[in-house]
Amino acid sequence: MSAETENRPHSPEAAPSQAIGAKPEPARALSAASTTSQGSSTDANSRDSLGSELSSRMSNSSRMSTMSMQSISGRSSSRTRRRGFMRPQGTDFAASAKSRESVMSLGSIAHLQYYFARTGLLDGKGGQLARKKQPRATLDLAVLEGTAPMTVHTPTTAGFDVDPSFVSMGSSPDLSGQGFITDNVMESPTGLGEMDDFSDDFEEDPDILPPTVSTYNHRQKVVPKPPTVAELKAELETTLQDALKVLKEAKARKAGSFHAPSDAPQYANMPAENTQSWYELQGMNILDFVTLAIRAAKNYYTAHELPDRLDSIKSEKQIRTDLLGVMEVLKQMATRNFKDGMKDEEIDTMVAWIESVFDILKKEAAIEATEQAERQSWSWMTGDWEGRELERERQFLISMDPDDEPLPEWTPASSAAEQPTPFLEAMQNGLRLVRLHNAAVKKSRRRFGAIPTFHVDTQKPYRSADNLRYWAKAAELRFECHISIDALGIVYNNGPQVWLDFEAAILRWCAHVREEITNDRKKAFSLLDEFTFR
């Protein structure tokens, strides 16, 4: 370069020259923005070069799109995998899934796969349809050293580096000359990677229901009916008899007075009698039978409908003490590994417990027979009482509390009478009504809602009024019989209307209680007949 050229002033609009020792400019720069800005000059040559470059890019983009479509069509025709759904062959749920009702109620696996494939709910969620993790944008540091063209690595769904401006414009320059077109370029133009290996064209499967049809099958879990008290009692008697039989046999063998029946089975591997193996076998046999008897007794005690009846025979504390004593004996036998056989005191303890349980059942049966005979004597439960309703209710009240003093005749109250009838006068202080309520609760099979505290000394008027209020509230809570009375008006005799309302309340209470007790008896008879039939 001459000195004249070096001293010539430079125009600010002139393009800068290359540095000394610079390498030739690559065919593709960082972006098209710099070329476009240089092409914005008013120079005609610059505009012509810009137009030719744009037309070249458009032709390259169309050629690249054509190559991409050819690659996709060739790959889709060569691969037979379908997107998301392939007809399973004998697929079934795993063993762990078969034990779960929520899984087995969903239907078949084939329908589930068909449903998710047709609806596309699992696209990109996992497996073959999972989308690849997109890398972050990085700068190629090789351009700083001058060994590679300056390129910004932009995260794309296709897995190759392209200019973001071209991606957004839907076009791309011809990169084949620079070595940018690889297999990854044509791998996934839709940005789904391996998901393009499947086709979106589904064919209707006539053997599978459409995805809009639900195959969910709600399975009602069958809960077995709990055993009745009669069934528990029969099981208890059977287990007690079996346990008593093996205990008596063990005691007879120990005393040497046992004679085996002629039809007793003979086992080849039976150990010799009075050996340690024999004692262990005998002890385990007794342990099984007595344990079953204890379990049956526990179920009977806890599931009994009338625990107060059992408590009247033997207290709960004593019953529990006897059970724990037998269990302690069994524990000691097993701890010493049934060495030298069973002891006499151990056999006596278990036999005494079995006999005590039989005694409880016997006394309970006697109580039930007495109650049944009493129910048979209730005349108000049968017969035609039309026109004699007051007499029927009087007989009902007498049967509820027969130990109390007899009730006067029940004559209807009159609106003109200033004084109560003898029957209503006997109920005026409320004490007789409270006792009748408690007696009716005791006769019922649902023994709850009794009146715990009340006034026995009714010389004070407020005490009689309290008893009447207790009776009315207890009738509402226990028998769902709503009674409205004027307690103080009854105590102070405030006119005929008070007695008319009081008599109507007693009649309503008698009807509710009588109906419940009658239904309890019918239900008890039906359960007894059902158990006998079984």
Q: Is residue 210 part of a domain?
A: no
Specify whether 50 is located in the same domain as 164: yes
Residues 168 and 285 reside in one and the same domain: no
Check: CB of residue 458 under 8 Å from CB of residue 431.
yes
User: Is residue 354 domain-shared with residue 406, that is, in the same domain?
Assistant: no
- Between CA 317 and CA 304 the distance in angstroms is 16
| Residue 153 φ/ψ, nearest 5 degrees | -80, 110
Burial class (CB in 10 A: 0-12, 13-18, 19+), 396: buried
pLDDT of residue 353: 96
220 domain-assigned: no
* CB-CB contact of 423 with 429 (8 Å): no
User: Do residues 443 and 399 both lie within one domain?
Assistant: yes
Residue 183 and residue 40 in one domain: yes
170 and 292, same domain (yes or no) = no
The reported pLDDT for the residue numbered 485 is 92
* Together in a domain, 388 and 352: no
What is the DSSP track for 434-502? Answer: HHHHHHHHHHSSS---------S---SHHHHHHHHHHHHHHHHHHH-------HHHHHHT--HHHHHHH
SS3 of 224-277:
CCCCCHHHHHHHHHHHHHHHHHHHHHHHHHHHCCCCCCCCCCCCCCCCCCCCHH
Q: Looking at the structure, do residues 385 and 520 belong to the same domain, yes or no?
A: yes
Q: How many domains does the chain have?
A: 3
Asked whether residue 12 is domain-assigned, the answer is no
pLDDT at 462: 94
356 and 401 inside one domain: no
Whole-number pLDDT of residue 220 = 80
Return the pLDDT at 365.
93
Q: Is residue 62 located within the same domain as residue 190? A: yes
User: ∠457-462-468 over CA atoms, to 5°?
Assistant: 80
Of the chain, the end-to-end C-alpha distance in Å amounts to 124
Let me know whether 47 and 87 are in one domain.
yes
- Residue 531: per-residue pLDDT: 45
In a domain, 17, yes or no: no
Whether 313 and 364 have beta carbons less than 8 Å apart is answered as yes
Residue 26 falls inside a structural domain: no
Q: For the chain, which residues score pLDDT lower than 70? A: 1-90, 122-133, 135-207, 524-534
Name the residue range of residue 235's domain.
Answer: 229-258+273-376
| CA distances from residue 20 to 24, 219, 410, 432 in whole angstroms, order as listed | 11, 85, 134, 127
From residue 149, alpha-carbon distances to 31, 138, 154, 163, 176 in Å are 12, 14, 15, 13, 15
471 is a domain residue? yes
On whether residue 15 sits in a domain, the answer given is no
341/435 same-domain check: no
Q: What is the pTM of this model?
A: 0.57
C-alpha neighbours within 13 Å on the C-beta side of residue 174: 12
Residue 9 belongs to some domain of the structure: no
pLDDT value of position 234: 94
Residue 11: its pLDDT value, please?
A: 53
